[in-house]
Amino acid sequence: MVVTAGEKQDRPRGGNWSRRGMLSGLLGAPVLLVAACSGGGGGKDGSGGSAAGSEPAASGASGSPSTSPRASVAQITVTPADGATAAPFTQPVTVTVLDGTLTSVTVTDGTGKRIAGQLAADGASWTSTAKLSSGSTYTVAASAVDKDKRPADANASFSTASPANTFVGYFTPEDGSTVGVGMPVSINFNKAITDRKAVQQAITVVADPPVEIVGHWFDSTRLDFRPEQYWAKGTRVTLKLRLKDVAGAKGVYGTQSKDVTFTVGRSQVSTADLRADTLTVRTDGQVTATYPVIGGAPEHRTWGGKLVISEKYQQTRMNSSTVGLGSEYDIPDVPHAQRLTTSGTFIHGNYWSPASQFGNDNTSHGCIALQDVQGGNDPTTSAAKFYASSMVGDVVEVVNSGDRTVNPGNGLNGWNMAWADWVAGSAV
């Protein structure tokens, strides 16, 4: 890189320009300029620095000694080096000066945004304080003066490396969605996170109206956020992911920087009483429907507790082999199915059981069944009505099932954990 000090003068409009600074001016009067050239060099891998220094003034025209002032002796070095294409984004930009004092340092990214930094008290060095981004280009402009106040300048441009090993977080709910009051923010990472604190600090969840929201790690790949109680209807929730270049594990960096916003709709919490075999639906605090149901048989009891609807299917296949029950059943067209656990618990339509069993018997393999027709094309059935009234994030509270409470990590069911235990699972 060639760096020139003291070249802010305009070149005269006439005469012959010499690289060493000689110029014959208009009307025959000699005009003398002084040029300072760069010294030192830098590699292309970001390990070196680029430096700007000075040379003695050139002689005047026709052998006459120059009377111009000497160039600055201040020498500026920029690290990463000018032209580096794989500079480490985890390291700061540094600018140092030898035999001088820095007067100005400006570092900008490819969008023109300035990168913050700190000048040392003695003016001999400057270090960036804001983090660099991977796979980005930066430009540096620095100025200094020597002890005689003679100026020197340096300019550099470099690019940071892209990480070879990355991770992403798959989140729910989706941006722009409307969900029920029990919907947590759930993030599943594609790589194990060992620095949970760093990752959680890079994720923010805020609500309007405001409410305290706390994150909880279920394991090294799953982080959920929720308030102490169900969301209030109408709440607007924003997930802010700032994971780009955050080290989730040694040598593994995040790639995401985005905002996700969703809205909490009306409040609907239903109670499945499996002693009475009824499903009572409450919308905004009022009972809006009661349906007869079938719960889990004694050998396959339904999980108890607060279960959140995480997926909805107009029709789906249910095969017992996928949940460890061998070949007990394989139904290709289960209508109005809504998932309650990852392990396979659904609340769904049932067209194969006698009508007399609904509201009277518990014979299922753990699901909650409502009366339906094959094909699910009758909107007057219990299953069709409940399906139409439900949304992802609604809660089904199962009581009197005879089984233990569902594991909080089995589905979106963190509401079954005491608040103190939930907060204890936070890394910040």
- Tell me, yes or no, whether 57 and 134 share the same domain: yes
Question: What's phi and psi for 13, nearest 5 deg?
Answer: -80, -15
pLDDT for residue 49: 64
pLDDT for residue 320: 83
State the pTM of this model.
0.80
In a domain, 422, yes or no: no
CATH at residue 404:
2.40.440.10
Tokens 């005491």: give the residue. Answer: 418
- Tell me, yes or no, whether 251 and 340 share the same domain: no
Is residue 7 over pLDDT 60? no
Catalytic residue among 216, 336, 348, 365: 348
Residue 172 corresponds to which amino acid? Answer: T
In this predicted structure, which of 62-66, 175-179, 338-342, 393-397 has the lowest mean pLDDT? 62-66
* pLDDT band, residue 63 (cuts 50/70/90): very low
For 241-252, what is each residue's pLDDT tens digit?
Answer: 999 999 999 999
Is residue 2 over pLDDT 80? no
Distance separating alpha carbons of residues 248 and 194, to the nearest angstrom: 6
Question: Exposed, middle or buried, 80 (CB in 10 Å: 0-12/13-18/19+)?
Answer: buried
In a domain, 78, yes or no: yes
pLDDT for residue 24: 33
CA 356 to chain centre: 52
pLDDT for residue 48: 59
In a domain, 421, yes or no: no
Distance separating alpha carbons of residues 125 and 90, to the nearest angstrom: 19
Looking at 110, 135, 159, which one is the last position of a domain?
Answer: 159
- Tell me, yes or no, whether 87 and 207 share the same domain: no
Q: Which domain holds residue 370?
A: 268-410
- Tell me, yes or no, whether 279 and 398 share the same domain: yes
- Tell me, yes or no, whether 257 and 274 share the same domain: no
In a domain, 59, yes or no: yes
- Tell me, yes or no, whether 134 and 205 share the same domain: no
- Tell me, yes or no, whether 186 and 136 share the same domain: no
Terminal C-alpha separation, the chain: 46
In a domain, 1, yes or no: no
Whose CA is closest to 102, among 69, 70, 140?
140
- Return the number of other C-beta atoms located less than 10 Å from residue 26's C-beta: 10
348 part of the active site? yes
In a domain, 358, yes or no: yes
For 349-394, what is each residue's pLDDT tens digit?
Answer: 999 999 999 999 999 999 999 999 999 999 999 999 999 999 999 9
- Tell me, yes or no, whether 210 and 149 share the same domain: no
Average pLDDT estimate for 46-51: 57
**CA angle 116–119–121, rounded 5-degree value:** 150
- Tell me, yes or no, whether 123 and 173 share the same domain: no
Number of structural domains the chain divides into:
3
Catalytic residue among 216, 336, 365, 367: 367
Kindly provide the residue ranges of all beta strands, DSSP E only, lying in 160-235, ordered along the sequence: 166-167, 169-172, 178-179, 185-189, 203-208, 214-219, 222-226
CATH at residue 203:
2.60.40.3710
In a domain, 290, yes or no: yes
Is residue 113 over pLDDT 70? yes
Average pLDDT estimate for 414-428: 98
Looking at 159, 174, 189, which one is the last position of a domain?
Answer: 159
CATH at residue 30:
2.60.40.3780
Share of the chain above pLDDT 70, in %: 84
- Tell me, yes or no, whether 198 and 114 share the same domain: no
Share of the chain above pLDDT 90, in %: 80
In a domain, 298, yes or no: yes
- Tell me, yes or no, whether 272 and 337 share the same domain: yes
37 part of the active site? no
pLDDT for residue 35: 31
Average pLDDT estimate for 42-63: 48
- Tell me, yes or no, whether 144 and 181 share the same domain: no
For 261-312, what is each residue's pLDDT tens digit?
Answer: 999 999 999 999 999 999 999 999 999 999 999 999 999 999 999 999 999 9
* pLDDT band, residue 68 (cuts 50/70/90): low
Looking at 110, 141, 159, which one is the last position of a domain?
Answer: 159
Tokens 């900008």: give the residue. Answer: 108
Average pLDDT, the chain: 88
